[in-house]
Amino acid sequence: MDGNGRWAKQRGLPRTAGHTAGEENLAAVVRSAVRLGIDHLTVFGFSTENWVRPRQEVRHILGLHKKLFGRVAELNELNVRVRWIGRPFDDPAARTPRYVQRAIAKAIRDTEANTGMTLTVAFDYGSRTEIAHAVETLRRDGREITVEAIDSALYQPDLPPVDVLVRTSGETRVSNFLLWQAHGAPISFASAAWPDYSSDDLRAAVELARNSPNHR
């Protein structure tokens, strides 16, 4: 969800206002995704690298996660199931505060009976850390390191492969997001900053996925 900071700067607002607008747009994008019949939407909410941002910005983004995970009534109305992908809370390097852990656990519990779209929020997530964790888990269990074994040891092994990756705000570089799962996926480039990412942009991403030679 890139470009919150730039969106705010263009309007003479603090970066935190961009993140607030980003969270509100995420709620709108979730509605659009449900309308388009998308089964899985996974969003990058906070990366393992984001902890070095100014404390006030980190605190603000954490608060927005609490807000998002608190939208249970809205998610239930949309029949959306919430999941989380990220570094396990008991990992020695994990830094997720207890109140965010509790909000995540509660949202998962309160939406687990929903049968529509799965919204997976990546929080304290890094793809390279995830892959290293999978390999380390297999090694510790004395398992052979194969592609299938790594698949099965990822944070959320049930998550299907990525059909299309979206980059907003004119970014054209690969980020540390679902690198293993997005193998072969097309990338949908949107010039809109995340707070302006629209249902038309999402529709274009779905089209790109449908027209991809790897489409399942």
Q: Which residues bind ligand FPP (CB under 6 A)?
A: 1-6, 19, 22-23, 26, 43, 45, 50, 61, 64-65, 68, 121, 169, 194
Q: What is the DSSP letter of 122?
A: E
Residue 2 annotated among the catalytic residues of the structure: yes
Q: Got the DSSP string for 75-86?
A: HHHTTPEEEEES
Q: What is the DSSP letter of 116?
A: S
Rounded Cα gap, residues 95 and 87, in angstroms: 9
Instruction: Decide whether 3 or 186 has the Cβ nearer to ligand FPP.
Output: 3
Instruction: Decide whether 43 or 150 has the Cβ nearer to ligand FPP.
Output: 43
Is the dihedral angle over the CA atoms 53, 108, 193, 164 positive or is it negative?
Answer: positive
* Minimal distance, residue 60 CB to ligand FPP, in Å: 9
Instruction: Decide whether 100 or 150 has the Cβ nearer to ligand FPP.
Output: 100
* Minimal distance, residue 22 CB to ligand FPP, in Å: 3
* Minimal distance, residue 84 CB to ligand FPP, in Å: 10
Phi, psi of 78 (to 5 degrees): -90, 0
Neighbours of 206 (CB within 10 A): 17
Residue among 50, 76, 114, 176 flagged as catalytic = 50
Neighbours of 28 (CB within 10 A): 14
Closest CA to 87 of 128, 42, 28: 128
Residue 200 annotated among the catalytic residues of the structure: no
Rounded Cα gap, residues 193 and 31, in angstroms: 18
* Minimal distance, residue 100 CB to ligand FPP, in Å: 10
Q: What is the DSSP letter of 165?
A: E
Instruction: Decide whether 31 or 143 has the Cβ nearer to ligand FPP.
Output: 31
| Burial class of 132 by CB neighbour count within 10 A (0 to 12, 13 to 18, 19+) | exposed
* Minimal distance, residue 153 CB to ligand FPP, in Å: 25
Instruction: Decide whether 30 or 153 has the Cβ nearer to ligand FPP.
Output: 30
Structure tokens of 164?
A: 């299309």
Q: Which residues are catalytic?
A: 2, 50
